[in-house]
Amino acid sequence: MAAPWLSVIGIGEDGLDGLSPAARALYDGAEIVVGGKRHLAMVPEDGRRRIPWPPQLVALVPEIEALRGRRVCVLASGDPMCFGVGVTLSRRIPIAEMVVLPAPSAFSLACARLGWPLAEARMVTLHGRPLELVVPHLQPGAKILVLSADRTTPARLADLLRRTGWGRSGLAVLERMGGEGERTTRTTAAEWSDCEVDDLNTIAIDCVAGPETRVLSAVPGLPDDAFAHDGQLTKREVRAMTLATLAPSPGQVLWDVGAGCGSIAIEWMRSDPRCRAVAVERDDDRLALIAQNAAALGTPFLRVVRGEAPGALAEDLPRPDAVFIGGGITAEGVVEACWAALPPGGRLVANVVTAEGEAAVIGHRSRLGGSLSRIAVSRAEPVGGYQGWRPLMPVTQWAVTKPWGPA
């Protein structure tokens, strides 16, 4: 096992003076220092080689890997393993070759300033990421900590909160925490004015819903009208049961084949911010609906693939942990391609409403096993001056788990 050669040191606004003796020793002993422009400006020019981060940090990783055997020190903001460079590096370099010494993260500092329990706060970074990632966390009473991309983020975030009915929410913008220029601005999203803000800022949101705010739960089963659709939509009750059968877990990947308006994939991703999904759809109008819904409901990283299964499944897609087939079950090779892609323990769920689709799933079940369920839902609707039950089309659901070993 190689000895540690790479040190990743968290540094605060107080610069070298705030480093622990151990961190200072690693910094002093390094041959090469790597960091952002702000980090390198905190330390003196002393003749050692200095490598600034490029705009895309991941592009620097191969260069750092090529320095294996040299003493390299990477300076990072706060805790390098909290949405930081330490995470990026540890994906390529074994942790046994690294020493990571964190400083307090921006989240820890913000909670200390606000008196918030860190363990109860929801944490989001908007560094190079869409603003909509905040949306699934907007729940009454939720406390959200946001790492800003730059000085424009507070105003853009306040505007999003106002537009989505969360204007009453408390907004605290904490700038340059731990340094001489530290400043905190407290207001509400509705009252936020476009004042001058430092690029280095963290935002705290204390969520307050207004009387007209539409609260969308992270629990599967959003109202049907939360989605823009053309009628090709897995209805709320069936959607909730389908997601329960698909059983999303943190970090897992779903293929939503014949995605329609993307409701299954979107709710899969909303269940946990670490879940990923691929929506496969052939219709251009529905592809546009998927993109619209993904942005509006806070899953902008939903990957959308244009094409028809099974051909579209030959793309360079991440291997799925679960597959939902909402359309195209009767097409030749679709189930076979999805089944081949699944690892042992992976789940496949298919919903059908036609006799031909039901015949197909019965045939696949006889070969692959699994269970069949009939889901029948009726909704109360006006009948003259009274209420009566109007049934939706019954759905036949086939669910099967890929066994361990030959199948």
Q: Which of 265, 278, 402 has the alpha carbon at shortest distance from 346?
A: 402
- Give 213's DSSP letter: -
- pLDDT at position 323: 98
Average pLDDT of span 177-190: 94
Task: State the distance between the two ends of the chain, measured CA to CA, in whole angstroms.
Answer: 39
Supply φ then ψ for residue 286, to 5 degrees: -75, -30
Position 110 pLDDT exceeds 70: yes
Q: Is the pTM of this model over 0.95?
A: no
Q: Report d(CA 327, CA 127) in Å as an integer.
A: 36
Q: Report d(CA 197, CA 173) in Å as an integer.
A: 8
- Give 1's DSSP letter: -
Contacts of 201 (CB under 8 A, 6+ apart): 148, 151, 153, 154, 173, 174, 175, 176
Could you read off the pLDDT of 17-67 as tens digits, one per residue?
999 999 999 999 999 999 999 999 999 999 999 999 887 878 889 999 999
Is the torsion defined by CA of 300, 306, 308, 309 positive or negative?
negative
Residue whose tokens read 């003076």? 17
- pLDDT at position 57: 79
CA angle 352, 357, 361 (to 5 degrees): 85
Which two tokens mark 401? Answer: 């788990």
Residue 315 — very low, low, confident or very high, per pLDDT cuts 50/70/90? confident
Q: Report d(CA 62, CA 54) in Å as an integer.
A: 12
Residue-range domains of the chain with CATH = 6-103 (3.40.1010.10), 107-206 (3.30.950.10), 224-401 (3.40.50.150)
